[in-house]
Copies of this chain bind each other. A is one copy, B any other.
Amino acid sequence: MKKHCLESGFTIGFLGAGQLARMSALQAFRFGMQVAIFSDRPETEPAEFLTPASFNGSFDDLESMIEFANACDVITLENEFIDSGILKELRDRTGTPIYPAPETFEKIENKEIEKLTFRDAGIPVTPSRLVGSPSDIENFAQEFGWPVMLKSSKGGYDGYGNRTVNHAGAAATAFDELGGNQEQEILAESFVDFTHELAVQVARNGSETVIYPCVETVQEDHICVAVKAPAHIDPLLAEEAQRLAKAAAEAIDGRGIFAFEFFLTSDGQILLNETAPRPHNSGHYTIEGCISSQFENHVRAVAGLPLGSSGMVQEAAVMINLLGSHHRTARIDFADEAMKTPNGHLHCYGKTDSKSGRKMAHYTLLGKDPGTIYNRAVELTMNIKI
């Protein structure tokens, strides 16, 4: 790095300006750092309200990122959609290190490469194959059965870019909808019969590794609506998920914070499903739930500071996502009870506009008994309107 990360003026740059950059930036400030933001959106994004140093351009346009990179001592990313070749060139031209490194992104550049990387490292993943036509999908289904999950190989999140195909007759439409006929690479994945969806955060700073608890994510329509920490499963299975998460972070030589999402299958297997080389919704509970949050350890890891503890502060934590109701100026109503409740913590992302289903805020409740706090958190947030 150009200067010591605890020296006055040290600047951490974020490519991306959403709530993940925003919550990370708050932790950077806490260590006395300065923050620079690069956004590719025309509207003012959540993290841009937090700094005088905002830059605008396109993630596809190297030139537009140069000035930003020169203003930073280290750069990190809020999403995994930037081409690793562009990141390498940005680093080489400006001398500003980027973590996770472009070489890490290369290993998970798209879903096909990602699967190969982890399969090679001995990590169990869902059976999958690139498909170039509807008939490839049928062949895949003959081997692994219906339904088949179709995924855009690059760029999908929160269910965008996913389709479930239940029978041969639906293959052509889904393939076309995902852009299969417009050169979009499509991955077919066998449908996994699972009992739980799990997630584990891993922080690595180049010399140390810190592993967070194994949590359960509750999904509706492919969107995470809640997280229960720790996951209420056999402790040996939780440990296995943590072991696999650590191995996966090592397999991509990751530096920063990483989230690994797993299926716990009906027959007791743990399969790696998705990877996020960044802070992740499944780790928001760590802000109050753990001694050092995913955002704090992300900043520490990227800046090269020693890592903090991932130990939980209380026995259990629950995080509920608060989604937008409809298109309107963002405004949180009916949150008083939630805000008054001891050990209940509201976080709002400062987005200008609310939209149906948009992640606008979240609420974390800590306590002793997982079931009790889950029910209570659901109750406290069900009337909140954004």
Which of B34, B52, B336 touches A306 (beta carbons < 8 Å)?
Answer: B336
Known: A7-B331, A350-B8, A351-B8. A339 touches B33 (CB 8 A): no
B contact residues around A35 at 8 Å (CB): 49
Known: A331-B7, A335-B6. A343 touches B309 (CB 8 A): yes
Q: Is residue A313 within 8 Å, beta carbon to beta carbon, of the partner chain? A: yes
Number of A interface residues at 8 Å Cβ cutoff, please give it.
Answer: 49
* B49 and A348 contacting across the interface, CB-CB below 8 Å: no
B contact residues around A313 at 8 Å (CB): 313
B contact residues around A51 at 8 Å (CB): 49-52
Q: Is residue A172 within 8 Å, beta carbon to beta carbon, of the partner chain? A: no
Q: Is residue A353 within 8 Å, beta carbon to beta carbon, of the partner chain? A: yes
Q: Is residue A361 within 8 Å, beta carbon to beta carbon, of the partner chain? A: yes
The complex is assembled from copies of this chain, and their number is 2
- Of all chain B residues, which has the CB nearest A310? B342
- Of all chain B residues, which has the CB nearest A27? B26
CA gap between A330 and B352 in the complex, in Å? 36
Name, among A29, A339, A340, the residue most crowded by chain B CB atoms within 10 Å (CB to CB): A29
* B305 and A347 contacting across the interface, CB-CB below 8 Å: no
* B29 and A22 contacting across the interface, CB-CB below 8 Å: yes
* A32 and B332 contacting across the interface, CB-CB below 8 Å: yes
Q: Is residue A368 within 8 Å, beta carbon to beta carbon, of the partner chain? A: no
Interface residues of A (CB under 8 A from B): 4, 6-9, 22, 26, 29-35, 48-52, 54, 291, 300, 305-309, 311, 313, 329-333, 335-336, 339-340, 342-343, 346-353, 361
17 contacts between A and B (CB under 8 A): A6-B331, A6-B335, A6-B348, A7-B330, A8-B329, A8-B331, A8-B351, A8-B353, A9-B329, A29-B50, A30-B348, A31-B346, A32-B332, A33-B350, A34-B49, A306-B339, A307-B340
